[in-house]
Amino acid sequence: MLRAGAAVATGLALRPHLAAAQEAESGFDADVGLDPGHSRVDVGASGDGVGEFQHTLDVTLRIKPLLEAAGVRVNLSRADHAPLSEMSHRDPTERTRIEQEARIAAVGRARVYVSVHFNALGDRRVGGTETYYNADNFGAESWRLAGALQDGVVAAIRAYGYATPDRGVKEDLRAGKPYGHFFSLRGGMPSALVEGLFLSNPTEAALLTDDGVREAIARGYVGGILEYFAASGLPLETP
């Protein structure tokens, strides 16, 4: 829950019927830009017959109503399986950059940007949950957002009954991407990218076919995001 009292004390309380006016005043189009990673063209990882792009949209569409019920305004980068760009550039890095820039633009001006992903590695034994941030983009805020999300998602998966290994919060440059920072973490706002579980791990891929674990992961994102805003004293108030 958000601390309404703290928000009132700062004179920034936001009641639902005032939300639109106050958001206009603040210059933000949304509190959270939510990005379901990949698309039917760039499917990402896959496991147990399901593509990462399907799981990410499923989880995103579970997160959105939960956040909205808590008074958080959400804009999605995509709401179906189509990419936002042509995805036709012959250079894959350029193709990724163009698509991710389109997604960041699609959410408008948001207080934070959260990208929903699942992981994969060649070693199928590796499993767990990890979250990335870009130290060069609102570094301290992004790190705090990433930490809140990592804690929220790990706790929710564990509460559901799977003892996911906590792989921690990581700087994206250390992920060894040839093009540097993740393109999805370069928008002009605090940003984090959560890799919920590993689709390359047979146990975790099977687990993800269970609606209950995807719902738990969604609740984990919501807990993390609400925790981040509460700690920020941002002008949100539960309806």
- Please identify, using beta-carbon distances, which residue of 117 and 144 lies nearer to Zn ion: 117
Residue 176 and residue 215: Cα distance in Å, rounded? 31
Share in percent of the chain as helix, strand, coil (round to 5)? 45, 20, 35
Residue 158 and residue 152: Cα distance in Å, rounded? 10
- Please identify, using beta-carbon distances, which residue of 56 and 75 lies nearer to Zn ion: 56
Q: What would the 3-class secondary structure string for 50-101 be?
A: EEHHHHHHHHHHHHHHHHHHCCCCEEECCCCCCCCCCCCCCCHHHHHHHHHH
- Please identify, using beta-carbon distances, which residue of 111 and 117 lies nearer to Zn ion: 117
CB of 117: closest distance to Zn ion in angstroms? 4
CB of 23: closest distance to Zn ion in angstroms? 30
- Please identify, using beta-carbon distances, which residue of 43 and 135 lies nearer to Zn ion: 43
CB of 198: closest distance to Zn ion in angstroms? 11
CB of 44: closest distance to Zn ion in angstroms? 4
Helix-then-strand count for the chain, H and E? 7, 8
Q: Which residues pair with 119 in a beta bridge?
A: 198
- Please identify, using beta-carbon distances, which residue of 2 and 59 lies nearer to Zn ion: 59
Give me the half-sphere count of Cα atoms (radius 13 Å) on the Cβ side of residue 92.
Answer: 6
Q: Which residues bind Zn ion (CB under 5 A)?
A: 37, 44, 117
- Please identify, using beta-carbon distances, which residue of 44 and 224 lies nearer to Zn ion: 44
CB of 52: closest distance to Zn ion in angstroms? 5
Residue 68, Cβ density class (10 Å: 0-12 exposed, 13-18 middle, ≥19 buried): middle
CB of 25: closest distance to Zn ion in angstroms? 36
DSSP 239: -
* Greatest Cα-to-Cα distance within the chain, rounded to the nearest angstrom: 54
Q: Residue 227 contacts by C-beta under 8 Å, 6 or more apart in sequence?
A: 148, 151, 152
- Please identify, using beta-carbon distances, which residue of 119 and 142 lies nearer to Zn ion: 119
CB of 37: closest distance to Zn ion in angstroms? 4
Ranked by CB distance to Zn ion, the top (closest) residue is: 117
